[in-house]
Amino acid sequence: MRVAPFLKFDANATYLDAEFKEYSSILANRTVADFSGNTMPRAPKWSLTSSATIDNIKLGESAEASLRVEYNHRGKTYFTRENTAVGSQGGLNLINAFAAIKFDDGAWELRASGRNLTNKRFFNFLRNDPFATVGEFRTFEVSALLRF
């Protein structure tokens, strides 16, 4: 939603009811386990993505600036069908920021960004064994672009 020529808000909320209705499986030890009623792996009930953008800011005669701040939330996530505490992760909140200055009608541009600014430690994927992939730690980037 653009509320002013220089201010825009974006938001997306998702509710996911991803529960196994009926699900039984044979485990490695040849016993039967019933996972009915458990939440599906990697399916948080709530997710939210939102941002605020300030753009079209004139800086003199030949420069224009923009700034974007993002807030992302992911609810509690189970990584396995068993829905155990060790195979889960509580709610996650991430903040990212991006800034840019364009010069000479976009002929060249300076950019800076920071992701996971609160340096939250989290998993993208986790199993009940030592295998896991961690989420991106706090990162910063600065770049210059030249268009010709």
Helix or strand run (H / E) with residue 1: none
Report residue 8's pLDDT band, with 50, 70 and 90 as the boundaries: very high
**Residues 44-96 pLDDT 10s:** 999 999 999 999 899 988 899 999 999 999 999 999 899 999 889 999 999 99
pLDDT at 107: 87
What single DSSP character describes residue 7?
E
Residue-wise burial string across 39-64, b where 16 or more C-beta atoms lie within 10 A, e elsewhere:
bebeebbebeeebebebeeeeeeeeb
Are 16 and 47 contacting, i.e. CB atoms less than 8 angstroms apart? Answer: yes
User: Token pair of 14, please?
Assistant: 């998702």
What is the number of other CB atoms lying within 10 angstroms of the CB of residue 92? Answer: 18
pLDDT at 130: 65
Residue 14 amino acid letter: T
Question: What's the predicted TM-score (pTM) here?
Answer: 0.83
**Residues 107-140 pLDDT 10s:** 899 999 999 999 999 988 776 666 778 889 999 9
Are 146 and 107 contacting, i.e. CB atoms less than 8 angstroms apart? Answer: yes
Helix or strand run (H / E) with residue 54: strand 46-59
Mean pLDDT of the chain: 93
